[in-house]
């Protein structure tokens, strides 16, 4: 069975007043919403991750504080909230590291739902998307990254990530 993993489509990354906003990343939202709706229409699981940090998270030694619990920035953008609203095959995962597999229930969800093909979209392509794909591929899950539904805060790093995901990790990149 196929499933979609939508990574970190949150206000702190996508909205212009977000803590880690980069101009242009909001372009992924319509394509990610299209994918969510497609998977919903086919009755397939949709797994949505959110970056979710305590105010003193160790990650803030490398990055400005973002997606902090009980802040507006941790919330999914409205278009994504609307697209997933009321869907019975929706799984929400909170994560506090780059990979959606690290210290989360993602692998259990995959196994319990007999998912063998995982489609990925979201942010940032060179960080949370790439490290999630790396762990999926290490577990031999067929992985498909939708490039038009991913972005980075750095165009060069985005190209590097797509190339690494495809050439090194062996995942499919749909352009």
Closest residue by Cα to residue 31 from 144, 117, 121: 121
pLDDT-derived band at 32, boundaries 50, 70, 90? very high
Mean pLDDT score of the chain: 98
How many Å apart are CA 137 and CA 142, to the nearest integer? Answer: 7
Residue percentage of the chain with pLDDT more than 90: 100
- pLDDT, tens only, 49-78: 999 999 999 999 999 999 999 999 999 999
Rg (Cα) of the chain, in Å, rounded? 15
Res. 160 pLDDT band, cuts 50 70 90: very high
Kindly report, residue by residue over 85-102, the tens digit of the pLDDT: 999 999 999 999 999 999
Closest CA to 106 of 66, 64, 47, 154: 47
Domains delineated in the chain: 2-174 (3.40.50.850)
């Amino acid at each position: 069975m196929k499933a979609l993993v939508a990574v970190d489509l949150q206000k702190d990354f996508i909205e212009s007043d977000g803590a880690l906003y980069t101009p242009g990343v909001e372009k992924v939202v319509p394509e990610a919403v299209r994918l969510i709706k497609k998977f919903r229409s086919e009755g397939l699981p949709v797994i949505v991750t959110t970056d979710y940090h305590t105010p003193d998270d160790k990650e803030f030694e490398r990055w400005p504080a973002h997606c902090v619990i009980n802040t507006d920035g941790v919330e999914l953008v409205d278009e994504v909230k609307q697209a997933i609203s009321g869907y019975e095959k929706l799984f929400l995962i909170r994560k506090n590291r780059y990979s959606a597999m690290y210290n989360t229930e993602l692998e259990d969800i995959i196994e319990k739902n007999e998912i063998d093909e995982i489609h990925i979209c979201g942010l940032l392509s060179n960080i949370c998307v790439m490290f999630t794909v790396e762990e999926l591929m290490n577990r031999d899950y067929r992985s498909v990254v939708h490039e038009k539904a991913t972005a980075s805060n750095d165009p060069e790093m985005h190209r590097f990530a797509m190339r690494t995901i495809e050439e090194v990790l062996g995942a499919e990149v749909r352009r």
